């Protein structure tokens, strides 16, 4: 098919779904190209006895481990944090834990407030209505009144505290620290055709219950009903551009491996903070010899993860084990900047359930808490169902040397260059991680943990991919403008985590989707003059 | 596809049995139990080409969990051992997949939030752009 569509969206994950749904009301012809397929919830890990093994294989976070047909390889050898993603309709929301914190107002003004990085060209209030709209579409559980946030309403009641939550709450209370039930895009009650959470645990292996708001069961059904076409198994290799500097459409390989071209009036990139710069850098033309939309030279630069630490405590009393949503409680005690801590910006601590028996054994063997041989059974029983964790998600500040480039050798199955990651954890992040590990250990001990261990940094924690096509008002210092349109290419928009100016210290999906809705709203409001 | 030799299987079984021996105290088999070991061999079969021939030292040495060479075997042993019905029951775990039955999680004591509710706000007012 080569007839021209009005809007071509590349990527059917968190942001592509939200934008498609929002734009569908315009009755424009909208096509989304997705390299993966529709997920099958009846095949998710928790439906079979070998669910722990499948979490490490076909549902592994790393595409280099999964090596599925939908995946492209990533050269992340030069990064202490490895890339995590998922390629399917729903994207990474199929495997995410649905932890759904908004940014704080201060996250948009880091230069003004803390003298580092850059302010965003938009603020919290700009995104607030889109956060709320996204909460309704995703069905977010939570509790109003959190003193860490400006007032907001919650769509569904909070997820249950459970034994593990009570344990952590008592620890935080003993220290006088903030905690609150998390905003989580897992339905605590039946909601909009989705059944309530039944505590399968194992959210990262896909939610067979359909309680977790992956976009294949939230935005996409509504968008498809409204006329949006999703073409699966279609891997985009480049975006073509006219000599006049307009995007003309995308070249892609269809499910049969046939190379095709889809012409479009507007192209929207929603391929995540690694996939989007990969495509832009691979889209070379006379008008853009250094990659599409890259006159600033910033495409691929300023890659931000959230360097993470996992701190676990072992308790005498039984806890919830792996039963229940993975993340259901947070502490923002150390979120806002305090210069006395020795670093700028801050981090969130989020509660983390225990693991299944095999994962408990493997983690315990790595940490030395579980042994091999005669004492194996006793040592395993000390940690299994007796462990609760905290994950520290630290704010990663933008640095141009942290970047995505095209690998000169490695390619995907269609010969498209793979992304190459070059990344270092900054001194500020390391100080923040040290602080977080120490504070989380205090909280766990105050909660009664007799043993505390940490994994720092979490090498497999490259879930949050941000900053590689940043937003800004200055075309020399940013890739897209304040409403997601490329400075260079007037009919090219970017709506995924690439546009983040800074990373904040919380999971980004909620903000990625709010931004996608905001950009879609701007497109709708400016249709008459969209390319001016 | 390369398969394990009889020699490999003998080494592997002895190694698995030393990693997780049977326990009368907990009423569980070892990882060298016939059914569990068969599961381990099936799981490792795709990697036989890279693992075989297994080094003779693995036959009698005490297994070291930190030995990178042991990692794939260690992982397979743990994944297979901890999905055996007898082992799961001994841990108090129902031998079934999580879905569709799910699990109960207690609602918890929400009065624990009272001191947090009483706190002043933590967020900073950042003004408007």
In this prediction the ipTM stands at: 0.96
pLDDT value at residue B124: 95
Please tell me which residue of chain B has the smallest CA distance to A50: B83
Which CATH number do you get for residue A313?
Answer: 3.50.50.60
How far does A177 lie from chain B, in Å, by closest CA? 8
Query: Per-residue pLDDT tens for A116-158?
Result: 999 999 999 999 999 999 999 999 999 999 999 999 999 999 9
Is B68 within 8 Å of chain A by CB? Answer: no
Q: Which residues in chain A have their CB less than 8 angstroms from residue B60's CB?
A: none
Determine how β-strand A30-33 pairs with β-strand A5-10. parallel
Q: Which residues in chain B have their CB less than 8 angstroms from residue A149's CB?
A: 123
If contacts are CB pairs under 8 Å, which of residues 301-320 in chain A contact chain B? 320
Whether A345 and A505 have beta carbons less than 8 Å apart is answered as: yes
Find the helix or strand (DSSP H, E) in which A262 lies.
strand A259-269
If contacts are CB pairs under 8 Å, which of residues 98-137 in chain A contact chain B? 104-106, 108-109, 112-113, 119-126
**Residue A513: inside a domain, yes or no?**
yes
Whether A189 and A355 have beta carbons less than 8 Å apart is answered as: no
How far apart (Å, rounded) are the C-alpha atoms in residues A109 and A346?
14
Answer whether B91 sits within 8 Å of A51, measured CB to CB.
no
Answer whether B112 sits within 8 Å of A366, measured CB to CB.
no
Chain-centroid distance, C-alpha A397:
17
Q: Which residues in chain B have their CB less than 8 angstroms from residue A119's CB?
A: 129
Q: Which residues in chain B have their CB less than 8 angstroms from residue A373's CB?
A: 18-19, 21, 62-63
**Residue A210: inside a domain, yes or no?**
yes
Please tell me which residue of chain A has the smallest CA distance to B40: A53
Query: Per-residue pLDDT tens for A299-353?
Result: 999 999 999 999 999 999 999 999 999 999 999 999 999 999 999 999 999 999 9
How far apart (Å, rounded) are the C-alpha atoms in residues A330 and A113?
24
**Residue A155: inside a domain, yes or no?**
no
Query: Per-residue pLDDT tens for B38-73?
Result: 999 999 999 999 999 999 888 888 999 999 889 999
Q: Which residues in chain A have their CB less than 8 angstroms from residue B64's CB?
A: 372
Q: How does residue B127 score in pLDDT terms, banded at 50, 70 and 90?
A: confident
Residue A220 reports pLDDT greater than 90: yes
Answer whether A104 sits within 8 Å of B100, measured CB to CB.
no
Residue A497 reports pLDDT greater than 80: yes
**Residue A386: inside a domain, yes or no?**
yes
A174 by Cβ neighbours in 10 Å (0-12 / 13-18 / 19+) ranks as: middle
Answer whether B112 sits within 8 Å of A356, measured CB to CB.
no
How far apart (Å, rounded) are the C-alpha atoms in residues A118 and A99?
26
Interface test with A, best of B79, B88, B120 (most A CBs within 10 A): B79
């305090």: which residue's tokens? A338
Query: Per-residue pLDDT tens for A248-290?
Result: 999 999 999 999 999 999 999 999 999 999 999 999 999 999 9
Answer whether A163 sits within 8 Å of B106, measured CB to CB.
yes
Residue A493 reports pLDDT greater than 70: yes
pLDDT value at residue B54: 93
Q: Which residues in chain A have their CB less than 8 angstroms from residue B61's CB?
A: none
How far does B102 lie from chain A, in Å, by closest CA? 5
Instruction: Give the range of the structural domain holding residue A450, as residue numbers without chain letter.
Output: 5-42+50-150+163-529
Residue A486 has φ and ψ, to the nearest 5°, of -55, 135
Whether A5 and A29 have beta carbons less than 8 Å apart is answered as: yes
Alpha-carbon distances of A277 from A17, A188, A290, A425, rounded to whole Å: 19, 37, 12, 20
Answer whether B126 sits within 8 Å of A113, measured CB to CB.
yes
Q: How does residue B2 score in pLDDT terms, banded at 50, 70 and 90?
A: confident
pLDDT value at residue A45: 97
Is A4 within 8 Å of chain B by CB? Answer: no
Is A160 within 8 Å of chain B by CB? Answer: yes
Residue A2 reports pLDDT greater than 60: no
Mean pLDDT (chain A) is 97
How far apart (Å, rounded) are the C-alpha atoms in residues B78 and B87?
11
**Residue A55: inside a domain, yes or no?**
yes
**Residue A251: inside a domain, yes or no?**
yes
For the beta sheet containing A75-78, the strands, ordered from the edge strand earlier in sequence to the opposite edge, are: A75-78, A417-422, A403-411
How many CB atoms lie under 10 A from the CB of residue A194? 20
pLDDT value at residue B69: 86
Number of domains in chain A: 1
DSSP state of A440: H
Percentage of residues in chain A with pLDDT exceeding 70? 100
From the list B82, B109, B119, the residue facing A166 with the nearest CB is B109
How far apart (Å, rounded) are the C-alpha atoms in residues A140 and A143?
10
Task: From A280, A295, A283, A284, select the one nearest A494 (Cα to Cα).
Answer: A280
Alpha-carbon distances of B40 from A66, A116, B50, B72, B92, rounded to whole Å: 20, 53, 16, 11, 23
For the beta sheet containing A329-331, the strands, ordered from the edge strand earlier in sequence to the opposite edge, are: A180-181, A329-331, A347-352, A387-394, A308-314, A451-455
Is A491 within 8 Å of chain B by CB? Answer: no
Task: From A204, A197, A181, select the one nearest A93 (Cα to Cα).
Answer: A204
How far does B121 lie from chain A, in Å, by closest CA? 4
Is A90 within 8 Å of chain B by CB? Answer: no
How far apart (Å, rounded) are the C-alpha atoms in residues A363 and A386?
13
DSSP A223-253: HHHTT-EEE-S-EEEEEEE-TTS-EEEEEEE
Query: Per-residue pLDDT tens for B94-121?
Result: 999 999 999 999 999 999 999 999 999 9
Q: Which residues in chain A have their CB less than 8 angstroms from residue B28's CB?
A: 377
Answer whether B97 sits within 8 Å of A49, measured CB to CB.
yes
Q: What average pLDDT does the segment A491-504 reach? A: 98
Q: Which residues in chain B have their CB less than 8 angstroms from residue A65's CB?
A: none
Determine how β-strand A347-352 pairs with β-strand A387-394. antiparallel
Query: Per-residue pLDDT tens for A425-442?
Result: 999 999 999 999 999 999
How far does B79 lie from chain A, in Å, by closest CA? 5
Q: Which residues in chain A have their CB less than 8 angstroms from residue B29's CB?
A: none
**C-alpha count within 13 angstroms, C-beta hemisphere, residue A90:** 24
pLDDT value at residue B1: 65
Find the helix or strand (DSSP H, E) in which A75 lies.
strand A75-78
Q: What average pLDDT does the segment A51-74 reach? A: 97
**Residue A325: inside a domain, yes or no?**
yes
From the list A51, A148, A172, the residue facing B122 with the nearest CB is A148
How far does B35 lie from chain A, in Å, by closest CA? 15
Is A230 within 8 Å of chain B by CB? Answer: no
Alpha-carbon distances of B92 from A304, A318, B84, B123, rounded to whole Å: 42, 12, 13, 44
How far apart (Å, rounded) are the C-alpha atoms in residues A251 and A487?
22
Determine how β-strand A329-331 pairs with β-strand A180-181. antiparallel
Tokens at A129, concatenated:
């209505």
Percentage of residues in chain A with pLDDT exceeding 90? 99
Region of A135 on the Ramachandran plot (φ > 0 left; ψ -120 to 50 alpha; else beta):
alpha
Whether A161 and A169 have beta carbons less than 8 Å apart is answered as: yes
Residue B8 reports pLDDT greater than 70: yes
Map chain B to HEC letters. Answer: CCCCCHHHHHHHHHHHHHHCCCECCCCECCCCCHHHHHHHHHHHHHHHHHHCCCCHHHHCCCCCCCCHHHHHHHHHHHHHHCCCHHHHHHCCCCCCCCCCCCCCCCCCCHHHHHHHHCCCCCCCCCCCC
Our CA angle for A495, A500, A503, nearest 5°, is 140
Answer whether B112 sits within 8 Å of A173, measured CB to CB.
yes
Q: Which residues in chain B have their CB less than 8 angstroms from residue A126's CB?
A: 129
From the list A106, A163, A385, the residue facing B126 with the nearest CB is A106
**Residue A123: inside a domain, yes or no?**
yes
Whether A343 and A364 have beta carbons less than 8 Å apart is answered as: no
Tokens at A121, concatenated:
């060209």
């Amino acid at each position: 098919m080569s007839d021209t569509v009005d809007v071509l969206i590349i990527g059917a994950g968190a942001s592509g779904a939200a934008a498609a749904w929002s734009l569908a009301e315009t009755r424009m012809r909208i096509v989304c190209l997705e390299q993966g397929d529709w997920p099958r919830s009846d095949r998710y890990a928790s439906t079979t006895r070998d669910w722990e093994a499948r979490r490490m294989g076909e549902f592994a976070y790393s595409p280099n481990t999964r090596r599925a047909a939908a995946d492209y390889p990533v050269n992340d050898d030069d990064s202490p944090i490895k890339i995590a993603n998922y390629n399917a309709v729903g994207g990474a929301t199929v495997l995410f834990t649905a932890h759904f914190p908004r940014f704080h107002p201060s996250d948009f003004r880091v230069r003004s407030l803390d003298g580092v990085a850059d302010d965003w060209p938009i603020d919290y209030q700009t995104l607030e209505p889109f956060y709320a709209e996204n909460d309704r579409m995703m069905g977010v559980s939570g509790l109003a009144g959190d003193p860490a946030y400006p007032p907001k309403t919650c769509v569904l009641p909070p997820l249950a505290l459970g034994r593990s939550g009570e344990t952590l709450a008592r620890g935080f209370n003993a220290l006088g620290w903030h905690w609150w039930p998390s905003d989580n895009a897992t339905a605590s009650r039946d909601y909009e055709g989705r059944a309530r959470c039944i505590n399968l645990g194992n959210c990262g292996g896909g939610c067979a219950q359909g309680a977790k708001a992956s976009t294949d069961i939230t935005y996409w059904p509504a968008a498809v009903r409204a006329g949006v076409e999703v073409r699966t198994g279609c891997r985009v290799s480049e975006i073509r551009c006219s000599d006049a500097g307009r995007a003309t459409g995308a070249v892609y390989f269809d499910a049969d491996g046939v190379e095709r071209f889809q012409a479009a009036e507007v192209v929207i990139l929603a391929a995540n903070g690694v996939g989007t710069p990969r495509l832009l850098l691979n889209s070379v033309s006379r008008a853009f010899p250094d990659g599409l939309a890259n006159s600033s030279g910033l495409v691929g630069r300023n890659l931000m993860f959230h360097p993470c630490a996992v701190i676990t405590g072992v308790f005498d009393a039984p806890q919830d084990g792996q039963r229940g949503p993975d993340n259901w409680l947070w502490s923002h005690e150390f979120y806002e900047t305090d210069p006395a801590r020795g670093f700028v910006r801050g981090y969130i601590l989020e509660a983390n359930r225990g693991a299944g028996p095999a994962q408990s054994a493997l983690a315990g063997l790595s940490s030395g808490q579980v042994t091999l041989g005669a004492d194996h059974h006793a040592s395993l029983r000390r940690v299994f169902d007796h462990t609760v964790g905290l994950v520290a998600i630290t704010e990663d500040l933008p640095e141009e040397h942290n970047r995505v480039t095209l690998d000169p050798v490695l390619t995907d199955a269609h010969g498209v260059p793979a992304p190459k990651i070059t990344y270092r954890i900054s001194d500020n992040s390391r100080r923040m991680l040290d602080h977080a590990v120490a504070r989380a250990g205090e909280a766990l001990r105050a909660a009664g943990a007799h043993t505390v261990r940490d994994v720092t940094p979490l090498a497999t924690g490259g879930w949050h991919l941000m900053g590689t096509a940043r937003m800004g008002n200055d075309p020399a210092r940013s890739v897209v403008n304040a409403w997601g349109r490329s400075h260079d290419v007037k009919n090219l928009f970017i709506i995924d985590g690439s546009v983040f100016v800074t990373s904040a210290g919380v999971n980004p999906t909620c903000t990625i989707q709010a931004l996608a809705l905001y950009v879609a709203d701007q497109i709708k409001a400016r249709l008459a003059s969209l390319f001016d | 596809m390369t398969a394990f030799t009889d020699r490999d299987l003998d080494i592997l079984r002895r190694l698995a049995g030393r990693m997780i021996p049977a326990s009368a105290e907990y009423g569980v088999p070892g990882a060298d139990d016939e059914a569990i070991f068969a599961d381990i061999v099936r799981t490792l079969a795709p990697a036989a080409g890279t693992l075989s021939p297994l080094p003779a030292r693995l036959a009698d040495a005490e297994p070291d969990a930190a030995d990178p060479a042991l990692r794939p075997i260690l992982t397979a042993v743990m994944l297979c051992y901890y999905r055996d019905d007898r082992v799961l029951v001994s841990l108090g775990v129902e031998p079934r997949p999580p879905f569709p039955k799910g699990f109960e999680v207690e609602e918890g004591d929400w009065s624990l939030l009272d001191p947090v509710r009483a706190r002043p706000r933590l967020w900073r007012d950042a003004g408007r752009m």
